[in-house]
Structure 1
Amino acid sequence: MAVNCFQCCHFYVTWDPKHPRGCKAYGFKTRELPSAVVLRSSGMECMKFEPKKGSGGA
């Protein structure tokens, strides 16, 4: 199953229109989802995925 960057605490949205998505764990920005770049370049699923902490709100 593919890693969902939107559920990862390392994922962030950038202000760069050419590279709107980023990964703090790997330290890069990209147009696509960072997990897709990691999979394509390494042949392996992202090893740095960490689920976002829940807000605990009602």
Structure 2
Amino acid sequence: MTGNCFQCQYFFVTWDPKSPRGCKAYGFKTRELPSAVVKRSSGMECLKYEQKKGAAKQ
């Protein structure tokens, strides 16, 4: 499994209450975690995940 969206450099929080989470790499906003949307729509784990600089690895 790829990393946690919250630790990905492409993850962002939006001001949109209907779509509070987003992915800069794929260019979309969603209510769910972006990695869950990618997995459900493509059947594959997120291939764009990149660890944030300074984020703790788990």
Could you tell me the TM-score, scaled by structure 2's length? Answer: 0.89
State percent identity of aligned pairs.
80
Contact 1:23 1:34 in 2 (8 A): yes
Q: Which residue is equivalent to 2:54?
A: 54
Q: Aligned letter for 1:20?
A: P
Contact 1:7 1:52 in 2 (8 A): yes
Structure 2 unmatched ranges of 5 or more: none
Q: How far apart are the structure 2 equivalents of 1:39 and 1:28?
A: 14
Structure 1 unmatched ranges of 5 or more: none
Q: What RMSD over aligned residues (CA atoms) do the two structures have, in Å? A: 1.3
Shift of 1:3: 3.3
1:36 partner SS? helix
Q: Aligned letter for 1:38?
A: V
Runs (4+) off by over 2 Å: none
Contact 1:12 1:23 in 2 (8 A): yes
Alignment of 1:1-58 (within 5 A): 1=1, 3-54=3-54
Largest Rg, 1 or 2? 1
Q: In terms of mean alpha carbon deviation, does 46-55 or 28-37 score higher?
A: 46-55
Could you tell me the TM-score, scaled by structure 1's length? Answer: 0.89
